[in-house]
Amino acid sequence: MMIEKIVIIGGGQASLSCASQLRSLGFKGDICMICEESYYPYQRPPLSKKFLTGQFLEERLLLKKVDYYQINNIKVLLSKKATKIDRDTKKVHLQSGEKIDYTKLVIAIGSKAKKAPLSDCDNYSNVYYLRNLHDAKNLKNQLQTGKKILIIGGGYLGLEVASVCSSFGMNTTVVEGADRILKRVAGEPTAAYLRKIFSIKGVKIIENDFVKKINNTESEVTNVELVSGRLIDVDTLLVATGGYPEVDLARDAKLQIENGIKVNERLETSDPSIYAAGDCASFDHNGGFLRLESVGNAIDQGQTVASNIVGKKTNFHAKPWFWTEQFDQKLQIAGLCDGFTDIIERKVKNKVSFWYYRNEILLAVDSFNDPYSYMIGKRLIEEKKSPKKEILRDINFDIKDALNLK
């Protein structure tokens, strides 16, 4: 009988989730993970938060102890880059010249940083990105009281780093091209709540303005000129303008691409022996192809792929949830607020939550330092229950009771 050989390209959360779930399901075949980085799979969310502050040391980042892989017979190839997928011979070619056979292949290579407004050929010593542990270590060395940092991008990543830099006593400025921060991922009330906190902490947030020109010496950026005419001096520049799904391998292998590597409900690509999971995978959602860049999604998709590999026909159902920490605020988000028509605000003491509705349907919940509202909201969304808006407006109403409403 032919031995099944599962090859997983990528060393992140989705990859490990798939590999560990395969063993949990009793899979006896070979498992090989190809990791471009020199580190065993590690947590990425702390890189922009507690790792930068020093509260989280490098060894704590590991998702599993190193001996886990040997004990569970999972082969991990570190510092190896996959350069080609040969679908005809079912081999993955590595930059080193090695070729790895597979019977089933999983692509879980995540996303890469957008460089704009810089270009790939720009190489300044004081310009940073933050996509991996190597980036985080380099950035961490620049956090010094009194230094000036400009962060381009007002999404979660840019704001998380801004809050850390401010806590280090740095002169911190965030520039966001959209008319407000968090434009792509959260509603106006959530953005306004955070903007107020950043203002109190002394972080300057500039919205609806773009980089016109980057002035530099031969080796580093000295200041940045905005379209508005503002000139911002910098010691450090962080580009946090988002990421692109890593699709080059898949595209070269003639797999279908649509906002990422296109997958069906079982997370199979256009080649049924190849799956995709995590940040690089796009799936059908409300008529479009959606990618979810979150730990929860990476875990769920990795486990779904494992179930399908072992023959348990399992469809993936997205359960979007996210979290972020900025200063003393922990923001937890359940659902997606796209297309909302109404927002209900619930404020109890130092806890506030925003409930997004499309007409009478609950779409999403954003909660600040309010895990109770987050957990209830998450369950309501997953169970497709939408309490009446006037009930939520009543702060004396225990939202847990909404779970029992017909």
Decide if 181 contacts 145 (C-beta within 8 A): no
- From 3.90.930.12, 3.90.950.10, 3.50.50.60, 3.90.1150.10, which CATH number describes the 5-112+244-309 domain? 3.50.50.60
Bridging pattern class, strands 243-245 and 127-128: unpaired
Q: List all residues 6 or more positions away from 362 whose beta carbon is below 8 Å from its beta carbon.
A: 335, 355, 356, 377, 380, 381, 385, 386, 387
Phi, psi of 224 (to 5 degrees): -125, 130
The residue written with tokens 């225990």 in the block is 398
Same CATH topology for 5-112+244-309 and 115-239: the answer is yes
Q: And the tokens for 169?
A: 């006593």
In this prediction, residue 80 has a pLDDT band, given cuts at 50, 70 and 90, of very high
SS3 69: helix
Model pLDDT for residues 328-350, shown as the tens digit of each residue: 999 999 999 888 999 999 998 88
Report pLDDT for 1: 64
CATH assignment of 115-239, among 3.40.50.12780, 3.50.50.60, 3.90.1150.10, 3.10.450.30: 3.50.50.60
CA dihedral 223, 119, 142, 207 (to 10 degrees): 60
Structure tokens at 243: 């990421």
pLDDT for 406? 61
Give me the pLDDT at residue 44, please.
95
Q: Answer whether residue 312 shows pLDDT above 70.
A: yes
Neighbouring CB atoms inside 10 A of 6's CB total 24
Vertex 145: Cα angle to 142 and 148 (nearest 5) = 65
* Domain range list for the chain: 5-112+244-309, 115-239, 328-404
Q: What is the mean pLDDT of the chain?
A: 94
Q: What is the DSSP letter of 388?
A: -
Length of the chain: 406
**Average pLDDT over every residue of 63-87:** 98
Note the pLDDT of residue 119. Answer: 83
DSSP annotation of 399: G
Q: Please report the DSSP string for 269-313 in residue order.
A: -SSTTEEE-GGGEEEEETTEEE---SHHHHHHHHHHHHHHHTT--
Which one has a higher pLDDT value, 338 or 79? 79
Q: Which residue, among 268, 273, 295, 272, has the nearest Cα to 284 in the 3D structure?
A: 268
Return the CATH fold of 328-404.
Enolase-like; domain 1 (3.30.390)
